[in-house]
C-alpha cells in the first residue's frame, strides 16, 4: 500500500506541477495557441478568398490570350488580345504566382520568339517552371532557339542537349531537338559532331518525322569528309 500511496502522490504532484506551470505561463501558452490558430485560419482564408479567385481570373485571361496566340497574332496575344483584356505580359505581371501566370511565361516566351525579340524570349522562358518532362524539354529547346538566333551557338548547343536529355525516350521531342542540334553542328562546320548527331537521330529516334531526312544529311556529310 505504501508503494501505491507513493505512486498516487507522484501523480498528484505531477498534475499540480503541470497546473502550476500552466497558471504561471498561461498568457504565453494561450498566445502561442491563438497565434497558431490565427495562422491556420489565415492560411485557409488566403487560399479561399485570394489564391483561388486570382487563379480563376488568371485562367480566364489566359484563355482569351491563347485565342490570339493560336491565330499567330503574337503581338496581340502579348499585350492586347481584346479591349479590356489582358495579354500574356500582363498576366505574368498580375498573376505570376499562380499556375496560369506561370504558363503565361511560356506563351510570352514563344510569342516573343515568333516576333524576333529573342532577349525577351530568354527572360520569360527562364522564369517558366515546367511541369513534366515534355514541357521541360520544350523550355530548353526554345531557349536553344533564341540563343541560336542571337548567334550564341555554344549556349544553343548546350540547351538543345538539355532538351534531348529531358525528352528521354520521347521520339517526338527528342528527335525534333536532336535534328536541330545536328543542323546547328552542320551549319557551324562541325562535320564529325553533325554526322554523329544525324546517325543517332536515325538510330535512337527512328520514329520521329525528322529521322526521314537523316540519310540525306549522312550521305552529304560523309561525302564531305
Residue 174 belongs to domain with CATH number: 1.25.40.10
Same domain, 32 and 125: yes
Asked if 95 contacts 127 with a C-beta cutoff of 8 angstroms, the reply is no
pLDDT digits (tens, 9 = 90+) for 127-168: 999 988 889 999 999 999 999 999 999 999 999 999 999 998
pLDDT digits (tens, 9 = 90+) for 106-115: 999 999 999 9
Task: Determine the structural domain holding residue 167 and report its residue range.
Answer: 136-225
pLDDT digits (tens, 9 = 90+) for 26-53: 566 445 554 554 444 443 443 443 445 6
Same domain, 118 and 146: no
Same domain, 140 and 218: yes
Write down which residue in 101, 129, 157 finishes a domain. Answer: 129
Report the alpha-carbon distance of residue 217 to residue 194 in Å, rounded: 9
pLDDT of residue 48: 47
Write down which residue in 100, 129, 158 finishes a domain. Answer: 129
Mean pLDDT of 72-91: 87
Same domain, 215 and 148: yes
Same domain, 122 and 147: no
- Number of folded domains that form the chain: 2
Write down which residue in 75, 110, 129 finishes a domain. Answer: 129
pLDDT digits (tens, 9 = 90+) for 10-33: 544 544 554 454 455 556 644 555
Contacts of residue 213, defined as CB under 8 A and 6 or more positions apart, other chains included, come to 179
The answer to the question of residue 56 being in a domain is yes
- Residue corresponding to grid cell 506563351: 107
pLDDT digits (tens, 9 = 90+) for 124-136: 999 999 988 889 9
pLDDT of residue 85: 84
The answer to the question of residue 11 being in a domain is no
Exposed / middle / buried, residue 43 (Cβ in 10 Å: 0-12, 13-18, 19+): exposed
Same domain, 180 and 143: yes
pLDDT of residue 28: 60
When the pLDDT of each residue in the chain is averaged and rounded to a whole number, the result is 81
Angle 214-224/191-204 helices, nearest 10 degrees? 150
Percent of the chain with pLDDT strictly greater than 70: 74
Same domain, 141 and 122: no
Report the alpha-carbon distance of residue 136 to residue 133 in Å, rounded: 5
pTM of the complete model beyond 0.95: no
Amino acid at each position: 500500500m505504501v508503494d501505491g500511496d507513493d505512486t498516487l502522490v507522484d501523480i498528484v504532484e505531477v498534475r499540480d506541477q503541470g497546473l502550476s506551470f500552466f497558471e504561471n505561463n498561461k498568457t504565453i501558452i494561450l498566445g502561442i495557441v491563438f497565434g497558431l490558430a490565427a495562422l491556420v485560419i489565415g492560411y485557409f482564408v488566403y487560399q479561399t478568398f485570394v489564391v483561388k479567385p486570382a487563379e480563376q481570373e488568371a485562367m480566364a485571361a489566359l484563355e482569351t490570350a491563347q485565342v490570339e496566340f493560336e491565330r499567330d497574332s503574337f503581338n496581340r496575344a502579348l499585350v492586347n488580345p481584346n479591349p479590356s483584356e489582358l495579354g500574356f505580359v500582363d498576366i505574368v505581371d498580375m498573376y505570376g504566382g499562380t499556375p496560369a501566370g506561370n504558363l503565361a511565361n511560356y506563351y510570352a516566351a514563344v510569342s516573343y520568339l515568333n516576333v524576333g525579340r529573342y532577349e525577351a524570349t530568354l527572360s520569360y522562358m527562364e522564369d517558366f517552371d515546367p511541369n513534366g518532362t515534355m514541357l521541360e524539354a520544350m523550355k530548353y529547346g526554345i531557349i536553344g532557339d533564341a540563343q541560336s538566333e542571337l548567334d550564341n551557338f555554344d549556349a544553343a548547343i548546350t540547351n538543345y542537349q538539355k532538351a534531348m536529355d529531358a525528352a528521354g525516350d520521347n521520339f517526338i521531342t527528342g528527335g525534333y531537338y536532336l535534328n536541330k542540334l545536328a543542323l546547328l553542328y552542320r551549319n557551324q562546320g562541325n562535320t564529325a559532331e553533325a554526322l554523329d548527331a544525324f546517325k543517332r537521330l536515325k538510330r535512337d529516334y527512328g520514329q520521329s518525322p525528322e529521322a526521314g531526312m537523316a540519310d540525306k544529311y549522312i550521305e552529304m556529310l560523309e561525302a564531305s569528309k
